[in-house]
């Protein structure tokens, strides 16, 4: 045990070129200049870059690195890298290891092969990556050797952001500026910077690799397109927080170690609700670093799983009938003086700074609900949002009893004079210490829940980058704060006007507050009455990216231009159509080459059995075999008809030029045709001899070995 602890402290962040390493390795003048750039956003000069590059290279080589790469986050939700070795030829047929400031600051990958939403044509290939010195460089260490990874932003030759990081960084600047202004209203003149903290909890499934390989649907789409629930699912609630199986624990141990070496604060791990489902939560960090870390966590999980003969499924809904996976994005704002602006304190009704910020966030969410919906979405999440285990596609805010009570006081009387308190908790066993109870219970059904001193956006897709959701949160809250500051900075009676402002905003936007059961049918009806949008499919929410209001605020805060927003809308449509197309083609492939041949084989077995039993004992009753044979044959016919129909609508949808119309056709025609094919195939799985079924069952995948 003590050996482990020792190893952890020795290894933590050993592969990160972090502040401590920079302080040690950089000349003090360079270190100071770099720090100033990181902290104040001052432009970096070439001399400093050269000096940093040299120190970085020396440090990396010392640890065995042969290559470096600009590491960036294109709009694919995974990261990209192109490795270059450090070698430079010199006289005498030798090489030296070199790395210049120019190579550190700027890279030039081909931009035409990444999603650009029309921003780049194939022939306009040039794109640039540029060093983000606010995220530390790190070493990737695996069987491929050691590579120095330099976090970068990625843009086109014409300067448009082609990645997820650039808008995130821009949005962090926006929220910083507006939140500093906001804190000044409350006399916090010492606050110079506000950063946004993010803790992204990651859910995932594990599956034995041999089973995985036998499921083309998992291989091509990340989730199962066919399959029935086994006799046992998650109804006994025995997996959630259950003792972790040794094979899984060994995987988790290695994931943790890989994370720790990269300075990722992997903290909590547990079994999740569904069989073979798990979660990892790191301790929160600044938004861009938390985003980098979450991307790395997903990559590490996939890599380490393979080393253990497992596959890690990050898809939002690997199995129908049990919980899917999400990513809970915990978000808060903290000042450079150490104040968590979302901490309500013990008596929130007296904390007008908190209440006004809360009102601003509620306003921002109400005005931009669809934008939050789309920023949390990918095609996989459509299988999850609104299903029983996941938040609905209706974006509402959960505040809990204490804050809702304060909010109601404000709405009713323009002020608040008390805060409900949690009181003491007594378990009823005298030997147990009493402890104080939280003033508020939790709500697992809310997409955007206040949880003590942060908001938790619970609808983010498990395989999606968290950059998009945080870009939206930062920008819309910056906008709300900016409006508030514009008005209050002119106030003659600040205290009174703050109270009035809180009451006014809460009155106008209280429709978005909902403390009840978000999974219930009543809420859907109630939300409709309140006029809240309920976009059941992601394609229906894409348009919000280019609503005039969205363009106005994103341009105002320099986060994304109209053209960049249009590109993102286009990419969403394209991604949706492509994903569904792959799913449809996988279903067609599996049905044609695996299910139909297997079922035909089984009908022959049944027919042979009917004939041979009859031959053995003439006149014997073979009605059981015969009725199974006719039932199977009926489903086989239905399968073939559904297969042909799916093939046709898929071809038709692919012929549509316009990305939006194509996406709509996939949603309206292909998705229902997929469901129509799944039905008879799933029915057949329940009839056909298990030994003849060509792929592992849900039970095999969820309950065996993992
Ligand atoms: P919960 O049980 O409410 O989900 P946890 O303490 O387990 O809360 O935290 C969940 C995630 O939220 C973790 O990643 C944690 O680091 C993060 N978190 C905690 N406090 C904050 C905060 N102030 N801002 C952002 N994230 C936070
Ligand atoms: Mg949580």
Q: What is the 3-state secondary structure (H, E, C) of 4-38?
A: HHHHHHHHCCCCEECHHHHHHHCCHHHHHHHHHHH
**Whether the CB of 282 sits within 6 Å of ligand 1:** yes
Percent of the chain predicted with pLDDT > 70: 96
Residue to substitute in 196, 198, 199 for testing ligand 1 pocket (most ligand atoms within 8 angstroms of CB)? 199
Q: Which ligand is nearest to the CA of 460?
A: 2
Q: Is domain 577-703 in CATH 1.20.810.10, yes or no?
A: no
Half-sphere exposure of 400 (CA within 13 A, CB side): 24
- What is the model's pLDDT at position 118? 81
Q: Enter the pTM of the model.
A: 0.95
pLDDT for residue 369: 97
Query: Can you tell me which atom of ligand 1 is nearest the CA of 265?
Result: 16
Q: What is the mean pLDDT of residues 20-38?
A: 93
pLDDT at 6: 46
pLDDT value for 598: 98
Closest CA to 481 of 40, 174, 167: 174
CATH topology of domain 202-326: Creatine Kinase; Chain A, domain 2 (3.30.590)
Ligand 1 centroid–CA 291 distance in Å is: 15
pLDDT at 389 over 70: no
Output the CA 274–ligand 2 centroid distance in Å.
Answer: 16
Angular region, 264: left φ>0, alpha ψ -120 to 50, beta rest? beta
Query: Whole-angstrom distance between the N-terminal and C-terminal Cα of the chain?
Result: 25
The Cα–Cα gap between 437 and 136 comes to: 40
340 Cβ inside 6 Å of ligand 1: yes
Distance CA 325, CA 329 (A): 13
Q: Which ligand is located closest to the Cα atom of residue 285?
A: 1
Express each pLDDT in 260-281 by its tens digit.
Answer: 999 999 999 999 888 999 999 9
Backbone angles phi and psi of 376, in degrees to 5: -100, 0
Q: Is the pLDDT of residue 443 over 90?
A: no
Q: Which pLDDT belongs to residue 2?
A: 46
Tokens at 572, concatenated? 């969403």
pLDDT surpassing 70 at residue 154:
yes
Give every CB contact of residue 400 below 8 A, 6+ residues apart in sequence: 439, 440, 441, 442, 443, 450, 515
Q: Where are the beta strands (DSSP E) in 407-488?
A: 424-425, 435-436, 448-450, 455-461
Q: Does ligand 1 come within 6 angstroms of the Cβ of 182? A: no
Ligand 2 centroid – CA 323 distance (Å): 16
Contact 480, 363 (CB under 8 A): yes
Residues 370-376 have a mean pLDDT of 97
Instruction: Compute the distance from residue 456 Cα to the ligand 2 centre, in Å.
Output: 7
Is 454 near ligand 1, meaning CB less than 6 Å away?
Answer: yes
Which of helix, strand or coil describes residue 245?
coil
Residue 654 structure tokens = 């692919």
Give the number of the ligand closest to the Cα of residue 328. Answer: 2
Q: Residue 453: CB within 6 Å of ligand 1?
A: yes
Tell me how far the alpha carbon of residue 533 lies from the centroid of ligand 2, in angstroms.
25
**Which of ligand 1's atoms lies nearest the C-alpha of 451?**
3
CA of 590 to the centre of ligand 1 (A): 42
Q: Whose CA is nearest to atom 2 of ligand 1?
A: 451
β-strand pairing of 435-436 with 424-425: antiparallel
Tokens at residue 389, please?
A: 């285990």
What is the mean pLDDT of the segment spanning 37-64? 91
Question: By the 8 A CB rule, do 130 and 250 touch?
Answer: no
Is the per-residue pLDDT at 433 higher than 90? no
| pLDDT tens digits along 268-323 | 999 988 899 999 999 999 999 999 999 999 999 999 999 999 999 999 999 999 99
pLDDT at 1: 43
Give the pLDDT confidence score for residue 667 in this predicted structure.
96
pLDDT, position 81 = 92
**Mean per-residue pLDDT of the chain:** 93
Q: Is the CB of 284 under 6 A from ligand 1?
A: yes
- Measured from the CA of 282, which atom of ligand 1 is nearest? 14
Closest residue CA from atom 3 of ligand 1: 451
332 lines ligand 1 (CB under 6 A): yes
For residue 236, pLDDT over 90 is answered with: no
Q: Which long-range contacts (CB under 8 A, 24 or more apart) does 285-288 make?
A: 285/197, 285/198, 285/199, 286/134, 286/195, 286/196, 286/197, 286/198, 287/168, 287/172, 287/195, 287/196, 287/197, 287/198, 287/331, 287/470, 287/474, 288/132, 288/134, 288/135, 288/165, 288/168, 288/169, 288/172
Interacting residues of 217 by C-beta distance below 8 A, sequence separation 6+: 223, 224, 225, 226, 583, 586, 587, 590
Q: What is the per-residue pLDDT for 230?
A: 86
What does the pLDDT read at residue 122?
55
The DSSP 8-state label assigned to residue 447 in this structure reads S
- CA gap 703, 275 in Å, rounded: 7
Which atom of ligand 1 sits closest to the CA of residue 340?
A: 23
Model confidence band, residue 121 (pLDDT cutoffs 50, 70, 90): low
Q: Residue 535 contacts by C-beta under 8 Å, 6 or more apart in sequence?
A: 370, 373, 374, 393, 541
What per-residue confidence (pLDDT) applies to 423? 67
C-alpha to C-alpha distances, 263 to 12, 15, 26, 146, 637, nearest whole angstrom:
6, 8, 20, 16, 57
Q: Please state the rounded mean pLDDT for residues 642-651.
A: 98
Q: Where in the chain is the domain with CATH 1.20.120.1560?
A: 577-703
Q: Is 199 in the pocket of ligand 1 (CB under 6 A)?
A: yes
CATH 3.10.20.70 residue ranges of the chain are 12-163
Rounded Cα–Cα distance for residues 706 and 697 (Å): 14
Q: 12-163 — its CATH code?
A: 3.10.20.70
Pocket test of ligand 1: the residue of 454, 458, 466, 477 to mutate, having most ligand atoms within 8 Å of its CB, is 454
Mean pLDDT in residue range 651-675: 97
| Region(s) of the chain under CATH 3.30.590.10 | 202-326
Ligand 1, closest atom to CA 268? 7
Ligand 1 geometric centre to CA of 409 (Å): 28
Ligand 1 neighbourhood includes 197 CB (under 6 angstroms): yes
């Amino acid at each position: 045990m003590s050996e482990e602890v020792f190893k952890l402290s020795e290894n933590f962040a050993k592969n990160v070129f972090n502040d401590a390493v920079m302080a040690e390795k950089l000349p003090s003048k360079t270190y100071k200049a770099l720090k100033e750039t990181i902290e104040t956003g001052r432009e970096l000069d070439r001399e400093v870059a050269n000096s940093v590059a040299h120190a970085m290279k020396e440090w990396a080589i010392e640890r065995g690195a042969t290559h470096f790469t600009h590491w960036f986050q294109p709009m694919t939700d995974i990261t990209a890298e192109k490795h270059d070795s450090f070698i430079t030829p010199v006289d005498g047929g030798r090489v030296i290891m070199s790395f210049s400031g120019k190579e550190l600051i700027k890279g030039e990958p081909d931009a035409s092969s990444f999603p650009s939403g029309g921003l780049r044509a194939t022939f306009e290939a040039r794109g640039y990556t540029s060093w983000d010195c606010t995220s530390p460089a790190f070493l990737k260490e695996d069987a491929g050797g050691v590579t120095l990874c330099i976090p970068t932003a990625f843009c086109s030759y014409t300067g448009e952001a082609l990645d997820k990081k650039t808008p995130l960084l821009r949005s962090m600047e926006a929220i910083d500026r507006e939140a500093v202004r906001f804190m000044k209203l409350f006399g916090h003149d010492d606050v110079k910077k506000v950063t946004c903290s993010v803790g992204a909890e990651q859910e995932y499934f594990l599956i034995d690799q041999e089973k995985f390989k036998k499921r083309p649907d998992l291989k091509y789409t990340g989730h199962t397109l066919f399959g029935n629930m086994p006799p046992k699912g998650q109804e006994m609630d025995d997996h959630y927080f259950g003792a972790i199986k040794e094979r899984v624990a060994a995987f988790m141990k290695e994931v943790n170690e890989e994370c720790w070496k990269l300075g990722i604060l992997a903290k909590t791990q547990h079994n999740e609700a569904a069989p073979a489902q798990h979660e990892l939560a790191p301790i929160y960090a600044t938004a861009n670093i938390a985003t980098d870390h979450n991307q790395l966590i997903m990559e590490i999980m996939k890599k380490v799983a393979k080393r253990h003969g497992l596959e890690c499924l990050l898809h939002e809904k690997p199995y129908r009938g049990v919980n899917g996976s999400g990513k809970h994005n915990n978000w808060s704002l903290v000042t450079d003086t150490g104040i968590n602006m979302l901490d309500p304190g013990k008596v929130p009704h007296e904390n007008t700074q908190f209440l006004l910020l809360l009102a601003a966030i509620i306003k921002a969410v109400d005005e931009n609900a669809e934008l939050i919906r789309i920023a949390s979405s990918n095609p996989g999440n459509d299988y999850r949002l609104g299903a029983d285990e996941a938040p609905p596609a209706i974006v509402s805010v959960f505040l809990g009893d204490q804050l809702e009570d304060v909010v109601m006081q404000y709405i009713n009387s323009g002020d608040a004079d008390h805060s409900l308190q949690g009181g003491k908790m007594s378990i009823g066993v005298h030997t147990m210490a009493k402890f104080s109870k939280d003033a508020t219970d939790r709500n697992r059904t809310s997409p955007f829940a206040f949880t003590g001193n942060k908001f938790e956006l619970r609808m983010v897709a498990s395989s999606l980058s968290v950059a998009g959701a945080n870009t939206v949160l930062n920008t819309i809250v910056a906008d709300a704060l900016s409006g508030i500051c514009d008005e209050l900075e002119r106030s003659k009676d600040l205290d009174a006007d703050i109270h009035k402002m809180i009451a006014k905003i809460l009155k106008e936007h209280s429709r978005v507050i909902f403390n009840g059961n978000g999974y219930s049918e009543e809420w859907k009806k109630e939300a409709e009455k309140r006029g809240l949008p309920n976009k059941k499919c992601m394609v229906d929410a894409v348009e919000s990216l280019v609503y005039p209001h969205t363009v106005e605020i994103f341009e105002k805060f320099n986060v994304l231009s109209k053209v960049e927003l249009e590109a993102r809308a286009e990419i969403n449509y394209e991604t949706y159509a492509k994903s569904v197309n792959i799913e449809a083609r996988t279903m067609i492939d599996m049905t044609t080459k695996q299910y139909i041949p297997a079922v035909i084989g089984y009908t022959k077995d049944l027919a042979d059995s009917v004939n041979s039993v009859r031959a053995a004992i003439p006149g014997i009753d073979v009605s059981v075999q015969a009725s199974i044979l006719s039932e199977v044959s009926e489903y086989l016919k239905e399968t073939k008809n559904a297969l042909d129909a799916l093939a046709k609508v898929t071809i038709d949808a692919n012929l549509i030029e316009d990305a939006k119309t194509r996406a709509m056709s996939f949603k309206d025609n292909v998705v229902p045709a997929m469901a129509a094919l799944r039905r008879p195939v799933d029915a057949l799985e329940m009839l056909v001899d298990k030994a003849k079924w060509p792929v592992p069952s849900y039970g095999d995948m969820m309950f065996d070995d993992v």
